[in-house]
Chains A and B, each alone.
Chain A
Amino acid sequence: EAQVTQNPRYLITVTGKKLTVTCSQNMNHEYMSWYRQDPGLGLRQIYYSMNVEVTDKGDVPEGYKVSRKEKRNFPLILESPSPNQTSLYFCASSLSSRTSGDLNTDTQYFGPGTRLTVL
């Protein structure tokens, strides 16, 4: 089954304790992205990756790191989490970062989300 998986789904941690949220897709997609979702603010993009070893900042990258060593994986790293990073996080992937009007190319697939609480 084609899917995007995230782990863990729920995480409670304390300020300053490094953590990694994993994201994996099995669709051979080039493009992957991380979003955070907060009440009233919709989805805001944190980082994205157009292909292996190619990453770039989204709208809210402060306090986050990413890496793309393999096509299927795109982990989100919080080196020193703070309470303002308490949020719901989604990973997404699509065949290409370029949209063309083609359904196969343009559709983004989202993971189930990771709810992070930083105390």
Chain B
Amino acid sequence: DAKTTQPNSMESNEEEPVHLPCNHSTISGTDYIHWYRQLPSQGPEYVIHGLTSNVNNRMASLAIAEDRKSSTLILHRATLRDAAVYYCILPGTSYDKVIFGPGTSLSVIP
């Protein structure tokens, strides 16, 4: 599976938008980009995924660069409950050996 690079930590003010970047320069043409997040003391949970087009769901938006070498998870209005570690992963064609890196630890300031 291709590797991803994310900043170790980011900070945001409550009620402001947050843009969490992910670099995946070795992505292959068929790799979907998945985002998961892990709230304190919980297991990771699915957030969003996409291939080429930007994607929206009730939790977040995913903006994918035209060359697909990077993507950005967008939380439109950060809340205190969004404080978590966010993981960007590329499972490839299977989850057999998916790699979760250290992720980005997001702090939300009231």
Q: Which residues of A come within 8 Å of B, CB atoms?
A: 4, 31, 33, 35, 40-45, 48, 50, 56, 58-59, 90, 92, 94, 97-99, 101, 103, 106-113
Contacts and interface: CB of A to CB of B under 8 A. Distances in A.
Counting contact residues on chain B (CB < 8 A from A), the size range is 20 to 34
B91 A43 contact: no
Given A41-B102, A45-B97, A113-B42, 18 more contacts: A43-B44, A44-B100, A48-B96, A58-B97, A59-B97, A59-B99, A97-B96, A99-B93, A99-B95, A101-B32, A101-B51, A106-B49, A107-B46, A108-B44, A108-B46, A108-B95, A112-B42, A113-B43
Q: What's the dominant secondary structure at chain B's contact region?
A: loop
Contacts, number: 65
A110 B36 CA distance: 11
B101 A42 contact: yes
B48 to A, nearest CB: 9
Nearest to A99: B91
Interface of chain A, helix or strand or loop or mixed? Answer: strand
B97 A111 contact: no
A49 to B, nearest CB: 10
B100 A56 contact: no
A22 B51 CA distance: 35
A61 to B, nearest CB: 11
Interface in B33-92: 34, 36, 41-46, 49, 51, 87, 91-92
B100 to A, nearest CB: 4
B96 A40 contact: no
B100 A43 contact: yes
Contacts of A44: 100
